[in-house]
Amino acid sequence: MTAQAVDPAPGAPAPDAPVEHRTVETVSSKAPVILAVLTGLLALLLVAAHHPGDVRFALGSSHDFFEIPVIVVPGPVVAWGGVVVMAALTAVAFVLTSALRRHVPAWVTVPFAVVGLVAFLAWAGAGSPRDLSITGLISGAIALSIPIVYGALGGVIGERAGVVNIAIEAQLLLAAFTSALVGSITRSPWAGLVAAMLAGVLVALVLGVFAITYRVNQVIVGVVLNVLVIGITSFLYSQLLVPNAQALNTTPRFPRVGIPLLERIPVIGPAVFNQTVVVYLMFVVTAAVWFGLYRTRWGLRVRAVGEHPKAADTVGIKVNATRYRALLMAGAVAGIGGAFYTVVSIGQFGREMTAGAGFIALAAVIFGKWDPLRAAFAGLLFGFASNLQSILSVVGAPVPSQFMLMLPYVITLLAVAGLVGRSRGPAASGVAYEKE
């Protein structure tokens, strides 16, 4: 080693400049390929299952400020027209990525999705004597998205604090059960809602004890919790609720509350502004979680312990206490989602009635890139897919019902696998914090 003193070098650039490497644009051609495949599939469907007749799109309801008449169009014509537009947009996407080396912009993908949806509906609803109610489609989508959105918000909070919550399904299910039971006993949906939140907190607490305090693998704890809650609720359901269905499993539900004036806006009015209080609360909670995470001291600390717990520790933040608080709060949020099944939707508990919504919520967390607004939007999308299935069975679409039941899950899979792109979760999510 030599040991000359270093002369202060004149003219050296400020070392503040970041190490910038030259970049070349790498554009994946995945997006246009997906668009092409979807277009092809729809065309194939139209050929293979030709389905003549008119389709009746109902856009309004008698309640609106003004009435929009039912639009009656020939189904195959609209469907094929849609395919042509989709093919054109796909071609545009190919040109953009290969020739101009640009990413596929939203002004291609969004119209593609809308046109594709209309074309699909035109095909499915052709020849049906019933109206295909767009308002009903949106309204039902919002209702069905409730558990997914709340579950996803709970998942976002937990993961932002560094705890992976696979047990959202368990939280939803136990909350559904508890709210049915408490709602039936007290005859109050509000009491049922509070009980549901507590049930979500209880599951979160068990998860926290194992994942945070005892540093057990978080994925395993979550999976075990899911199975455990299925077991417990199924057992109690058959032993307790079924024999006493009148007393213990018949809860009053939240009524729909219309917001004056707003509910009379055509199409979206009845869909968005004539819902139960749990739906309005969903919008409030979504905004609150966003504000809390990004604009408050609480959120800064939660994100810090989820990204770099040791850094948080070295500035005096109690990492595990922060994680517990966030996880329990997330449990309460997910619990509201579970209450949907009983005190909003059907007024009674059924065995395994959440049917995997917690896992769809987990997908929404990732699809939403751990951001509350995006995750809530993803939840709405998945809710839409669920509702599409029920609407299509109502109009009598020529698809076997089993295939229709798969639709929400297929859409979830496509969305998460194909459209998310590169996303990066909180760095310390799933890693227990241990002081040396």
Partner 1 sequence: MRLELRGITKRFGALVANDHIDLVVEPGEIHCLLGENGAGKSTLMNVLYGLYTADEGEIVLDGQVQRFAGPGDAMAAGIGMVHQHFMLVPVFTVAENVMLGHEHTRGGGRLDLEAARTQVREIAARFGFHVDPDAVVEDLPVGVQQRVEIIKSLARDADVLVFDEPTAVLTPQETDELMGIMRQLRDEGAAIVFITHKLREVREVADRITVVRHGRVVGEASPTATDAELASLMVGRAVELTVHKDAPVLRDNALEVSGLVVTSPDGQVMVDDVSFEVRGGEVLAIAGVQGNGQTELTEALLGLQEDVAGSIRLDGNELVGRSVRQVLDAGVGFVPEDRNHDGLVGEFSIAENLMLDRSDGPPFVRRGALQLGERDRFAHEKVAEFDVRTQGIDTKVGRLSGGNQQKVVLARELSRDLRLLVAAQPTRGVDVGSIEFIHKRIVATRDAGVPVIVVSTELDEAVALADRIMVMYRGSVVGIVPSTTPRDVLGLMMAGIAPEGEAA
Q: In angstroms, what CA-CA distances link 279 with 2, 130, 146, 251?
A: 72, 28, 7, 18
Minimum distance, C-beta of residue 207 to partner 1, in the bound complex (Å): 24
Tell me the C-alpha distance between 181 and 196, whole Å. 10
Minimum distance, C-beta of residue 312 to partner 1, in the bound complex (Å): 7
DSSP H/E element including 416? none
CA nearest to 234, candidates 185, 176, 165: 176
Minimum distance, C-beta of residue 333 to partner 1, in the bound complex (Å): 18
Near partner 1 in 147-166, by CB under 8 A: none
- Name the 3-class secondary structure at 125: helix
- Name the 3-class secondary structure at 316: coil
Residue 296 as a binder of partner 1 (CB under 8 A): the answer is: yes
Minimum distance, C-beta of residue 336 to partner 1, in the bound complex (Å): 22
Tell me the C-alpha distance between 152 and 166, whole Å. 11
Question: In the complex with partner 1, which residue's Cβ is closer, 214 or 291?
Answer: 291
According to CB under 8 A, which one of 44, 300, 417, 419 is a site residue for partner 1? 300
According to CB under 8 A, which one of 55, 144, 307, 382 is a site residue for partner 1? 307
Residue 284 as a binder of partner 1 (CB under 8 A): the answer is: no
Taking a C-beta distance cutoff of 8 angstroms, is the pair 186, 198 a contact? Answer: no
Question: In the complex with partner 1, which residue's Cβ is closer, 189 or 426?
Answer: 426
Residue carrying the six token digits 């967390």: 365
What the block records as the tokens of 87 is 């093919």
Minimum distance, C-beta of residue 23 to partner 1, in the bound complex (Å): 5
In this chain, which stretch among 18-26, 72-80, 134-142, 356-364 interacts with partner 1, using CB under 8 A?
Answer: 18-26
What the block records as the tokens of 419 is 């459209």
CB neighbour list of residue 147: distance below 8 Å, 6 or more residues apart: 172, 337, 338, 340, 341, 354, 357, 358, 361
DSSP for residue 66: S
Question: In the complex with partner 1, which residue's Cβ is closer, 9 or 99?
Answer: 9
CA nearest to 327, candidates 213, 436, 227: 213
Near partner 1 in 316-375, by CB under 8 A: 316-318
Residue 8 as a binder of partner 1 (CB under 8 A): the answer is: yes
Question: In the complex with partner 1, which residue's Cβ is closer, 138 or 330?
Answer: 330
Question: In the complex with partner 1, which residue's Cβ is closer, 39 or 429?
Answer: 429
CB neighbour list of residue 144: distance below 8 Å, 6 or more residues apart: 383, 384, 386, 387
Minimum distance, C-beta of residue 303 to partner 1, in the bound complex (Å): 7
Question: In the complex with partner 1, which residue's Cβ is closer, 12 or 47?
Answer: 12
In this chain, which stretch among 1-9, 140-148, 218-226, 378-386 interacts with partner 1, using CB under 8 A?
Answer: 1-9
According to CB under 8 A, which one of 311, 410, 413, 419 is a site residue for partner 1? 311
In this chain, which stretch among 68-76, 114-122, 313-321, 359-367 interacts with partner 1, using CB under 8 A?
Answer: 313-321
Bridging pattern class, strands 132-133 and 71-74: unpaired
According to CB under 8 A, which one of 51, 56, 160, 303 is a site residue for partner 1? 303
Taking a C-beta distance cutoff of 8 angstroms, is the pair 392, 404 a contact? Answer: yes
According to CB under 8 A, which one of 63, 103, 253, 308 is a site residue for partner 1? 308
Tell me the C-alpha distance between 386 and 366, whole Å. 19
- Name the 3-class secondary structure at 265: coil
Near partner 1 in 22-81, by CB under 8 A: 22-26
Tell me the C-alpha distance between 114 and 123, whole Å. 14
Residue carrying the six token digits 């003004």: 66
Minimum distance, C-beta of residue 145 to partner 1, in the bound complex (Å): 29
In this chain, which stretch among 129-137, 245-253, 308-316, 405-413 interacts with partner 1, using CB under 8 A?
Answer: 308-316
Question: In the complex with partner 1, which residue's Cβ is closer, 29 or 239?
Answer: 29
* Beta partners for residue 58, in sequence order: 133
DSSP for residue 18: -
DSSP for residue 351: T
Question: In the complex with partner 1, which residue's Cβ is closer, 19 or 47?
Answer: 19
Number of residues in contact with partner 1, rule: CB under 8 A?
48
In this chain, which stretch among 148-156, 163-171, 295-303, 398-406 interacts with partner 1, using CB under 8 A?
Answer: 295-303
Binding site for partner 1 (CB under 8 A): 1-9, 11-26, 295-298, 300-301, 303-304, 307-308, 310-318, 422, 427, 435-436
